[in-house]
């Protein structure tokens, strides 16, 4: 099990807000596509409401920032498409290996 390094923890806290902003910008563009579709207004409304309800649970929108969830948060961000493995280049080799280990299992 990975023991969270202080340097990795600080780096995550520094990078996460920018990652979340970029992810929410991507979501906003997807929401615009829903609103600009040819569907009836009520269909667009309910499709958007459903999508936002699901998306707000993503780590790329709201992360549970506890050290014990650091690896899980990073895995979630990767799986959601909020970040890529290249975004982890500045993190410790140990953390990157831990992430790779879990990703290879899925």
CA–CA gap between residue 76 and residue 93 (Å, rounded)? 19
Q: Which band of pLDDT confidence, cut at 50, 70 and 90, is reported for residue 105?
A: confident
Q: Where along the chain do its domains lie?
A: 6-105
Residue 2 confidence (pLDDT) above 80 = no
What confidence tens digit (pLDDT) does each residue in 12-38 have?
Answer: 999 999 999 999 999 999 999 999 999
What confidence tens digit (pLDDT) does each residue in 42-86 have?
Answer: 999 999 999 999 999 999 999 999 999 999 999 999 999 999 999
CA–CA gap between residue 56 and residue 41 (Å, rounded)? 22
pTM, entire model = 0.90
């Amino acid at each position: 099990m990975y023991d969270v390094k202080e340097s990795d923890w600080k780096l995550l806290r520094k990078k996460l807000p920018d990652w979340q902003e970029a992810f929410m910008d991507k979501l906003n563009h997807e929401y615009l596509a829903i609103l600009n579709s040819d569907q009836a207004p009520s269909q667009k409304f309910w499709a958007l409401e459903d999508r936002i309800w699901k998306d707000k649970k993503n780590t790329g929108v709201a992360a549970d920032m506890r050290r014990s969830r650091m690896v899980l948060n990073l895995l979630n961000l990767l799986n959601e498409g909020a970040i890529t493995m290249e975004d982890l280049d500045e993190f410790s080799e140990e953390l990157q290996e831990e992430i790779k280990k879990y990703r290879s299992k899925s």
